[in-house]
């Protein structure tokens, strides 16, 4: 039995499912810290930046702050010299960091061939929490610019709100029970999708956790 037997359509998460976001972020922050303050411990910087991103991106996803403001909040907490900086200085600093991280954008192994092969068989989309222009740029870098993109900045609500999955299914023209959501985040890609009536596959490259859905460690397993 294949994991996609009986499926009419597949939705993929983007960050850390198709694009190796964590590696790019860590590479980017290391390079930027080296440039700004080479005395700062790179391992600590990576850990602190990860925590700040998680905390403030969650606030953005919950609608508490704007996309730009969650970036600025991360920077104010990360650098003492930016704690009282003006927005335009924070935005300039973020652009400097982001150039480093963007230079390190690369696909998760097997992601591009899996999406391409599936797209020849059925409707395939990407359902992601994030800002549409940025997420579209990531897909283009992966060579997947033609894949239907559903970004939360353009949806009625972000994952794990059921409206996110419903909107994506409706656009793809597929019924939720015959649509499979594939992603690395248990809450956003598995539990939320199942609550909305979709099937799910948890993409897990070695994290602890128990999934109510089938698990793959390599996206290519979806093709068998
Ligand atoms: Mg993800």
**How confident is the model at residue 208, as a pLDDT?**
84
Long-range contacts: 30-39, Cβ < 8 Å, 24+? 31/100, 32/96, 32/97, 32/100, 35/96, 35/100, 36/79, 36/96
Q: Return the CATH number at 185.
A: 3.40.50.1000
Distance 38 CA to ligand 1 centre (A): 31
Average pLDDT over residues 61-80: 95
Q: Are residues 118 and 13 located together in one domain of the fold?
A: yes
Distance 91 CA to ligand 1 centre (A): 24
Write out the residue range of the structural domain in which residue 131 sits: 9-20+106-223
d(CA 194, CA 47) in angstroms, rounded, equals 32
Distance 17 CA to ligand 1 centre (A): 6
Distance 180 CA to ligand 1 centre (A): 15
Distance 50 CA to ligand 1 centre (A): 14
Q: Are residues 111 and 217 located together in one domain of the fold?
A: yes
Residues with CB under 5 A from ligand 1 (ion): 13, 15-16, 184-185
Distance 37 CA to ligand 1 centre (A): 30
How do residues 25-52 score in pLDDT, each as one tens digit? 999 999 999 999 999 999 999 999 999 9
Q: Are residues 14 and 26 located together in one domain of the fold?
A: no
Does residue 1 sit within a domain?
no
How do residues 117-149 score in pLDDT, each as one tens digit? 999 999 999 999 999 999 999 999 999 999 999
Q: What string of DSSP letters covers 79-133?
A: -GGGTT--HHHHHHHHHHHHHHHHHT--BPTTHHHHHHHHHTTS-EEEEESS-HH
Average pLDDT over residues 195-217: 94
Chain centre distance of CA 9:
20
Domain boundary among 50, 73, 103: 103
């Amino acid at each position: 039995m294949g994991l996609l037997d009986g499926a009419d359509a597949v939705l993929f998460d983007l960050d850390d499912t198709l694009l190796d976001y964590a590696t790019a972020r860590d590479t980017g922050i290391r390079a930027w810290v080296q440039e700004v303050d080479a005395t700062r411990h790179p391992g600590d910087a990576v850990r602190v930046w990860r925590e700040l991103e998680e905390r403030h991106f969650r606030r953005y996803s919950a609608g508490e702050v704007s996309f730009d403001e969650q970036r600025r909040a991360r920077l104010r907490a990360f650098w003492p010299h930016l704690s009282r900086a003006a927005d335009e200085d924070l935005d300039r600093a973020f652009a400097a960091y982001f150039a480093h991280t963007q230079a390190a954008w690369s696909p998760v192994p097997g992601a591009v061939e899996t999406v391409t092969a599936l797209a020849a068989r059925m409707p395939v989309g990407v359902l992601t929490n994030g800002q549409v222009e940025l997420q579209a740029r990531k897909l283009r870098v992966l060579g997947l610019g033609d894949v239907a993109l559903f970004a939360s900045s353009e949806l009625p609500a972000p994952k794990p709100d059921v409206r996110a999955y419903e909107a994506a299914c409706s656009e793809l023209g597929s019924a939720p029970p015959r649509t499979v959501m594939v992603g690395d985040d248990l809450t956003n890609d598995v539990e939320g999708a199942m609550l909305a009536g979709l099937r799910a596959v948890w993409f897990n490259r070695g994290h602890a956790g128990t999934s109510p859905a089938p698990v793959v460690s390599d996206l290519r397993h979806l093709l068998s």
